[in-house]
Structure 1
Amino acid sequence: MREFSEDYLRRTRRGMWDDSREALAPLALESRSRILDVGCGTGELSRVLAAESPSGAEVVGCDADSALLEVAADCVPVVAGDAYELPFPDDAFDLVVCQALLINLPDPEAALAEFARVSSDLVAAVEPNNAAVSVDSSVDAEGDLERRARRAYLDGVETDVALGADARAAFEATPLEVLETRRYDHVRTVEPPYDEGAVVAARRKATGAGLADDRETMLSGGLTEGEYDDLRSEWRQMGRDVVEQMEAREYEREETVPFFVTVGHV
């Protein structure tokens, strides 16, 4: 399983539920008493589950990374554990849920089977289709470069990052009975006035830091050293254009991430 930093999880997960929490409707939170958030990371989803549970359900966060659990512990009880071998007895929860976890696991079906073991009722997965992310930007080159970089990165990733669109198949490979799958589009916008996160992201583009972080993965997917260097050069120029537009308060960006909520019954 890939490991992620606290900063990465905060940037990618925070804000997902700010505009609407309609995607949580299939989880039937009004009737839950104990909820387990597997792969909780910094607890972004755990916080939302606790806030949205009208019955005052106990929400427990579980993750293999102790550093991330220290952050999540500020809002919910946490337990260190592996998604394939959860440290809980059978039927310990009536809802087991994960967010953007299965796409990072080599064997999502095995994880779902383990989720089913510790759930007495529902198992749910909130998973994106990272292969279908779209970007619309006031910097002409950004959309095309984003697609090229994403394609090169995904070619080097060993797990199924598009699993969100086909999570039903993973559920059906387990004893779980699929109740429904719903698609939602999460839209992230950047526009004046720019927050600190947007400014930092622009600077990382201008320095090529983001591509540098992903260099090894991109090269393992078939991108040559020369192709990577060319891509990074274009990426840095695009980043400088973003910074320039930001200084003029002209930069706007809209990123759409399709994700799917799949719910199964034990």
Structure 2
Amino acid sequence: MREFSEDYLRRTRRGMWDDSREALESLDLESRDRILDVGCGTGELSRVLAAESPADAEVIGCDADPALLEVAGERVAVVAGDAYQLPFPDDAFDLVVCQALLINLPEPAAAITEFSRVSSDLVAAVEPDNAAVSIDSSVDAEGALERRARRAYLDGVETDVTLGADAREAFEAAGLEVLETRRYDHVRRVEPPYDEGAVVAARRKATGAGLADDRKTMLSGGLTEREYDQLRSEWRRMGRNVVAQMEAREYEREETVPFFVTVGRV
């Protein structure tokens, strides 16, 4: 399973549930007693689950990374554990949910099977389709360069990070009755005044730091050293334009990430 830093998880999940929690309606949170958030990371979803559930409901976050659990523990109760071997007895929860976890697992159906073991009722997965992300930017080159970089990265990832709507196949393979799979679009906007996260992201583009982090994955997917160097050169040039537009308070960007909520009954 791929590992992620606290900064990465905060950045990618920031604002996911701020505008609307409609995507969670089918989980019937107001009737839940015990909820498990597997692969909780820094606890972004755990916090929302606790807020939307009855005051006396118990929400537990579970993750294999102790550093991430330390952060999540500021919000909910946490337990260290592996998604394939959860440290809980059968039927310990009436809802088990994960967010952007299956896309990082080599065997999603095996994880769903384990989720169903510890759930007495529902299992749900909130998973993106990373191949369908769209970018609209005031810097002309940004959208095309992000598509090239994303394609190269996806080609080098060993797990199915485009899982999205296909998560239902893992549910069916695990023997669950799929109640629904519904698509939602999460829109992230950058516009003046810029917050610290947007400024940091722009600087990382200008230095090529983001592509440097993903270099090994991109090269394992078939991108040549020469193609990578060319992409990074164009990426840094684009990043400098982003920074320049930010300094002039002219930069605007809209990123749309489609994600799918799949709900199954044990």
TM range, smaller chain: over 0.9
Structure 2 residue aligned with 1:168: 168
CA distance in 1, matches of 2:161, 2:94: 27
- State the Cα distance separating 1:54 from its structure 2 match: 3.3
Structure 2 residue aligned with 1:129: 129
CA distance in 1, matches of 2:178, 2:71: 33
Instruction: Letter of the 1:66 partner, please give it.
Output: P
- State the Cα distance separating 1:57 from its structure 2 match: 1.5
- State the Cα distance separating 1:175 from its structure 2 match: 1.3
Structure 1 residue aligned with 2:214: 214
Deviations 1:151-197 (A, max 9, x none): 00000001001111211111111111100111000000000000000
CA distance in 2, matches of 1:196, 1:125: 30
CA distance in 2, matches of 1:265, 1:55: 24
Structure 2 residue aligned with 1:255: 255
Q: Following TM superposition, where does structure 1 have runs of at least 4 consecutive aligned residues deviating by more than 2 angstroms?
A: none
Structure 2 residue aligned with 1:232: 232
Instruction: Letter of the 1:240 partner, please give it.
Output: R
Structure 1 residue aligned with 2:144: 144
Q: Do the aligned residues in 2 keep the contact of 1:126 with 1:260 (CA within 8 Å)?
A: yes
Structure 2 residue aligned with 1:5: 5
Structure 1 residue aligned with 2:26: 26
Deviations 1:217-248 (A, max 9, x none): 00000000000000000000000000000000
Structure 1 residue aligned with 2:193: 193
Instruction: Letter of the 1:23 partner, please give it.
Output: A
- Of residues 50-59 and 242-251 in structure 1, the stretch that sits farther from structure 2 once superposed is 50-59
CA distance in 1, matches of 2:127, 2:56: 25
CA distance in 2, matches of 1:80, 1:63: 5
Instruction: Letter of the 2:92 partner, please give it.
Output: A
1:106 and 2:103 equivalent? Answer: no
Structure 2 residue aligned with 1:54: 54
Aligned to 2:147, what secondary structure does the other structure show? helix
Aligned to 1:257, what secondary structure does the other structure show? strand
- State the Cα distance separating 1:121 from its structure 2 match: 0.3
- State the Cα distance separating 1:141 from its structure 2 match: 0.1
Aligned to 1:25, what secondary structure does the other structure show? helix
1:177 and 2:177 equivalent? Answer: yes
Instruction: Letter of the 2:260 partner, please give it.
Output: F
1:158 and 2:163 equivalent? Answer: no
- State the Cα distance separating 1:55 from its structure 2 match: 5.2
Aligned to 2:97, what secondary structure does the other structure show? strand
Aligned to 1:124, what secondary structure does the other structure show? strand
Deviations 1:70-101 (A, max 9, x none): 00000111000000000000000000000000
Aligned to 1:205, what secondary structure does the other structure show? helix
CA distance in 2, matches of 1:13, 1:43: 10
Q: Do the aligned residues in 1 keep the contact of 2:165 with 2:262 (CA within 8 Å)?
A: no
- Of residues 178-187 and 164-173 in structure 1, the stretch that sits farther from structure 2 once superposed is 164-173
CA distance in 1, matches of 2:57, 2:101: 22
Structure 2 residue aligned with 1:97: 97
Q: Do the aligned residues in 2 keep the contact of 1:33 with 1:55 (CA within 8 Å)?
A: no
Aligned to 1:186, what secondary structure does the other structure show? strand
Which 5+ residue runs of structure 2 have no aligned equivalent? Answer: none
CA distance in 1, matches of 2:5, 2:158: 19
Which 5+ residue runs of structure 1 have no aligned equivalent? Answer: none
Alignment of 1:38-49 (within 5 A): 38-49=38-49
Q: Do the aligned residues in 2 keep the contact of 1:137 with 1:253 (CA within 8 Å)?
A: yes
CA distance in 2, matches of 1:241, 1:57: 49
Aligned to 2:20, what secondary structure does the other structure show? coil
Aligned to 2:158, what secondary structure does the other structure show? coil
Alignment of 1:110-121 (within 5 A): 110-121=110-121
CA distance in 2, matches of 1:165, 1:211: 28
Structure 2 residue aligned with 1:80: 80
Structure 1 residue aligned with 2:241: 241
CA distance in 1, matches of 2:93, 2:3: 26
Q: Do the aligned residues in 2 keep the contact of 1:32 with 1:55 (CA within 8 Å)?
A: no
The TM-score, its normalising length taken from structure 1, stands at: 0.99
Q: Between the two proteins, what is the percent identity of the paired residues?
A: 88
CA distance in 1, matches of 2:264, 2:238: 43
